[in-house]
């Protein structure tokens, strides 16, 4: 006699409730899109949707760096400042030769990939610093990354403060660089698939593979669930923590490069408070503040919710101050729901 699936034996109402709980934020995203589209039809224009996806692309790369750190019960407050530093590094080396206020006046045109790789390398160095302090010195991630956030901002300000121009924006970026973030592949008619969205999709896929189909991914979840048990089970906690921060730094470097290319310039203030948006997107997407729980799909959903919400409020003409209030309320509600779920499990 075939075995009966215990899930199928549960009442329909219970199963629907479980599905609604697991996919709650996805339903919130769909409801947000539908309601705003009804109130303001221009919200669903292809051009607007593509614009939102382009904005989301940089943030999802940032959030995918922040997410695994949260999974290990950590936090990275330096993320936004690292984005700013790496944006300035990439932008400073990819200015047009004839631009009058170049950061490096004698620098000739160099291959596009080299400055981007240098920016990613700078992010990795910050990640090594953060991870090493957390893993070996046992300084809490909050304090560690708070300190490096200030250090990185100071370093970025020194980098862009060049005589005789001072800390002016780094502009005049090469067309081949800005094309990475603003160019697109023509699919059909008015529909164009932006390069930056493709890059973000590749990063999402790679991070999904890393967290779901590698030993490191399993170790990340194990450390977040119970670091002592993970150690007893043979997990190299210190090595895993450093790798998590290194990967985050690399993603911040990529995000910074793409943002500089997208807006055509960079300043020492680029990325300010972006770490809060990254953390908010992760929490809204179901990454537990208690560690060990969260998915790449959830992080992606959280980013889209925040970006579509901001876009919807702008289109509806809502004051920027109310936008901040709504965002704060959503973050608090998401954390409150997460804590309630954690308390029920105890």
Q: Which two tokens stand for residue 209?
A: 């593979």
Contact present, 85 and 152 (Cβ < 8 Å):
yes
Residue ranges of the chain with per-residue pLDDT less than 70: 1-25, 189, 338-346
266: helix, strand or coil: strand
The C-alpha atoms of residue 196 and residue 258 are separated, in whole angstroms, by 8
List of long-range contacts for 293-297, beta carbons under 8 Å, 24+ apart = 293/71, 293/224, 294/67, 294/70, 294/71, 295/211, 296/64, 296/67, 296/204, 296/207, 296/208, 296/211, 296/212, 297/208
CA distance to 25, 28, 287, per residue, from 22 (Å):
8, 12, 12
**Residue whose C-alpha is closest to residue 122's, from 157, 150, 161, 81:** 81
Q: Is the peptide bond before 164 cis (omega within 30 degrees of 0)?
A: yes
DSSP-assigned states of every residue in 298-312:
HHHHHHHHHHHHHHH
Residue 278 has a pLDDT of 94
DSSP-assigned states of every residue in 2-43:
PPPPTTTTS-HHHHHHHHHHHTHHHHHHHHHHHHHHHH-GGG
Residue 1 has a pLDDT of 45
DSSP-assigned states of every residue in 241-260:
HHHHHHHHHHHHHHHHHHHH
pLDDT in tens, 269-290: 999 999 999 999 998 888 988 8
Residue 89 has a pLDDT of 97
Q: How large is the angle between the packed helices 175-182 and 237-263, nearest 10 degrees?
A: 110
Residue 60 has a pLDDT of 98
Residue 205 has a pLDDT of 98
Strand partners, 193: 185
Contact present, 70 and 214 (Cβ < 8 Å):
no
Residue 258 has a pLDDT of 98
């Amino acid at each position: 006699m075939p075995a009966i699936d215990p899930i199928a034996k549960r009442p329909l109402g219970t199963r629907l409730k479980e599905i609604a709980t697991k996919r709650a934020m996805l339903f919130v995203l769909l409801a947000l899109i539908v309601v705003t589209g009804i109130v303001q039809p221009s919200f669903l224009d292809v051009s607007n949707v593509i614009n939102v996806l382009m904005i989301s692309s940089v943030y999802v790369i940032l959030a995918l760096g922040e997410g695994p750190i949260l999974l290990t019960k950590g936090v990275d407050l330096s993320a936004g400042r690292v984005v700013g530093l790496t944006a300035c590094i990439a932008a400073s080396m990819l200015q047009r030769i004839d631009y009058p206020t170049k950061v490096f006046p004698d620098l000739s045109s160099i291959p596009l990939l080299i400055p981007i790789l240098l920016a990613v390398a700078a992010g990795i160095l910050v990640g090594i610093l953060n991870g090493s302090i957390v893993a070996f010195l046992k300084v809490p991630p909050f304090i560690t990354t708070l300190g490096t956030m200030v250090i990185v901002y100071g370093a970025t300000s020194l980098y862009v403060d060049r005589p005789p121009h001072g800390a002016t924006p780094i502009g005049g970026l090469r067309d081949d660089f800005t094309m990475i973030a603003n160019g697109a592949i023509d699919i059909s008619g008015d529909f164009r698939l932006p390069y930056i969205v493709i890059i973000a999709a590749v990063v999402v896929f790679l991070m999904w593979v890393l967290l779901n189909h590698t030993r490191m991914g399993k170790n990340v979840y194990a450390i977040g669930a119970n670091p002592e048990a993970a150690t007893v089970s043979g997990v190299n906690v210190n090595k895993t923590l450093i790798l998590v921060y290194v990967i985050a730094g690399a993603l911040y470097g990529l995000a910074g490069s793409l943002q500089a290319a997208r807006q055509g310039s960079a300043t020492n203030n680029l990325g300010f408070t972006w770490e809060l948006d990254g953390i908010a997107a992760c929490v809204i997407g179901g990454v537990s503040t208690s560690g060990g729980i969260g998915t790449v799909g959830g992080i992606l959903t959280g980013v889209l919710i925040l970006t579509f919400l901001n876009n919807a409020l702008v289109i509806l003409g809502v004051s920027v101050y109310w936008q901040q209030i709504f965002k704060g309320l959503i973050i608090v509600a998401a954390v409150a729901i997460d804590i309630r779920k954690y308390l029920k499990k105890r």
